[in-house]
Amino acid sequence: MSTGRRAWTTALFTVAALTAVLGVTPHRAPVVEPQDELTVRVDTGQVRGARSGAHRVFFGIPYAGPPTGVHRWAAPRPAGHWSGVRDTSRPGPLCPQVPSAYADISSLEEDCLVLNVTAPPKGRGGPRPVLVWIHGDGSVGGGEFFGARGLADRGVVVVTINYRLGIFGGYAQQGLPGSGTFGLQDQQAALRWVQRNAASFGGDPTRVTVAGSSFGAAAITGHLTSPGARGLFHRAVLSSGEGMMDMPAGMMGPEVPGYPWYVWRPAREMREISAEMTASLGCASADPAGTLECLRGLPVKTILKVPHIMNAFQAFGYGNEVLPQLPPTALGAGRFHRVPVLSGATLDEHRTFVGMQYDAVGAPFTTDDYDRALSTAFGADAAVVAREYPVSDFPSPALAWATVVTDRMWALGTAAQHSVLSQRVPLYAYEFADRDAPMYLPLPGDFDFGAFHAGDTPYVFDDAEARAHFTPAQWRLSDTMTDYWAAFARTGAPAAARGVPPWPRYAPGAPVPYTQSLAPDAIGPVDYVRGHRLEFWRRLG
């Protein structure tokens, strides 16, 4: 593996025959009607959940069969049926993953294609909107970590999912159908499950919102352009999405090369990454079928021992049946599913990454580092950028560099995505701007993370550690944001009925397209273009 590509894999934070399931013939459970609202029938059997306050929660419901053996690196297959009532009161297995600097969790379990449902109590009234959450990162995590009591309080049925991560979701090989997209296929299988089963939990399968942050939001950008996702969702929420973001050299680390797109890779490159990352496993063969058979026979533990084998696949392959075209190209041409979109980013996106690499881990980013980083990223234009962002204007070189990358990479990409989407569908843009948002990652150093990447997630989804530090004003912001998200799931517009500030649509032709700033006791319009100096970056090219 080249030095540049190896650096890229270490720097990323964000950045599979129904007649033979597990070797047995599936059978339908006897028809026994649920005895109470905690027992629900889905298409594969009955499940019994638990109460969480006023709500019902169901964990670990299989939405697809185990991606094991010959089904490793294959399209998700139907889940098997079970008899009796399945206990879903406790979380199911996480997909294979290894601990990281920011998430001390691990799993060796491949039978992990499960989802969780948080549902309001049964009551009168019509079916309720459904929100399906796709977590971020792509190499670690699971749906169980995102509590949804706030959204359920507002009448939303929330589904959080597990999907194949890292090499298990992104492996590619010549002649292997679906190469580089198995995680995306899992997500679509979960959305099909929602279409079949949402009504059993009081949900409305005609009002499904798919929402995600970071890598999860990028996945949704892919689903917007994927033929297989047509009709599976009716609104989309993209938080800190990277779908139209490029990456100049050095922005994710001094040795990381530039890429034309942050998360999209052509099929050839996905195959090359796969071959390089699995070379040490002893399965390389002139016969691709032999290589695949060997790799499918390896224990999960053996595969996970390869350094960086999970981070290397925080990207999606295109040029296949799942993503026939590069998603930014499809978006720009208007070839995407017409659904309302709520989309935004945080004010200080890149402070997370600079802090994790430098100041927050005891390796301060210096003025010399800043000069070198500008030169690596911008070449002959480095001096021009330095004049626009003089290091003396910032409390530290680290914050100067984080601001440059936030504006050039994150904000410019976010604005480009807003522009192409808003020309054809209703779009509501936001910027999360709470610079005192509680840092929930286990980072030791003293660093001002500001309104950091994914810092908005605990304001909508329950995170006890982050919320333990909320001030009264932050609780009010959280309530308002949850109102907005629930209203969007319900109607396709963030127009809540609880007296919250109005949120007009983003108008691409307006002198200042409307972007809602979300900060404690300070919700209102912000000039996103001016705030992130986007005209400067557009002129620079």
Whole-angstrom distance, CA of residue 407 vs CA of residue 289: 46
Domain boundaries, the chain: 3-246+266-313, 340-540
Cα torsion for 309, 310, 315, 321, to the nearest 10°? Answer: 90
Give the pLDDT confidence score for residue 88 in this predicted structure: 98
Residue 516 buriedness (CB in 10 A; 0-12 / 13-18 / 19+): buried
Give the pLDDT confidence score for residue 126 in this predicted structure: 87
Both tokens of residue 413? 């990409």
Given CATH 3.40.50.1820, say whether it is the number of domain 3-246+266-313.
Answer: yes
**How far is residue 220 from each of residues 24, 76, 162, 359, 400, measured CA to CA in Å?**
35, 18, 15, 33, 31
pLDDT tens digits, residue range 238-276? 999 999 999 999 999 999 999 999 999 999 999 999 999
Strands (E), 53-188: 55-62, 85-87, 114-119, 128-134, 157-161
Give the pLDDT confidence score for residue 16 in this predicted structure: 27
User: Residue 131 half-sphere exposure, CB side, CA atoms within 13 Å?
Assistant: 35
Q: Do domains 3-246+266-313 and 340-540 have the same CATH topology?
A: yes
Indicate the DSSP class of residue 29: P
Indicate the DSSP class of residue 492: S
Give the pLDDT confidence score for residue 6 in this predicted structure: 40
Both tokens of residue 352? 């997370």
* Cβ-count burial 301-340 (b if 16+ within 10 Å, e if not): eebbeeebbbbbbbbbbbbbebbeebbbebbbeeebbebb
Q: Which residues are catalytic?
A: 214
Give the pLDDT confidence score for residue 125 in this predicted structure: 76
Whole-angstrom distance, CA of residue 221 vs CA of residue 191: 15
Residue 133: strand, helix, or coil: strand
Task: Using alpha carbons, select from 535, 416, 13, 2 the residue that is nearest to residue 251.
Answer: 13
Q: For the domain covering 340-540, report its CATH number.
A: 3.40.50.1820
pLDDT tens digits, residue range 487-536? 999 999 998 767 889 999 999 989 899 999 999 999 999 999 999 999 99
* Cβ-count burial 478-503 (b if 16+ within 10 Å, e if not): bbbbbbbbbbbbbebbbbbeeebeeb
The distance from CA 385 to its chain's CA centroid, rounded to whole angstroms, is 31
pLDDT tens digits, residue range 25-74? 222 223 333 447 899 999 999 999 999 989 999 999 999 999 999 999 99
Task: Using alpha carbons, select from 45, 29, 66, 338 the residue that is nearest to residue 189.
Answer: 66
Give the pLDDT confidence score for residue 343 in this predicted structure: 98
Helix (H) or strand (E) holding 204: strand 203-213
Give the pLDDT confidence score for residue 497 in this predicted structure: 66
Cα torsion for 440, 444, 445, 447, to the nearest 10°? Answer: 0
Give the pLDDT confidence score for residue 466 in this predicted structure: 87
Low-confidence stretches of the chain (pLDDT < 70) are: 1-35, 124, 497
Ramachandran assignment for 74, one of left (phi > 0), alpha (psi -120 to 50 degrees), beta (any other):
beta
Whole-angstrom distance, CA of residue 262 vs CA of residue 212: 17
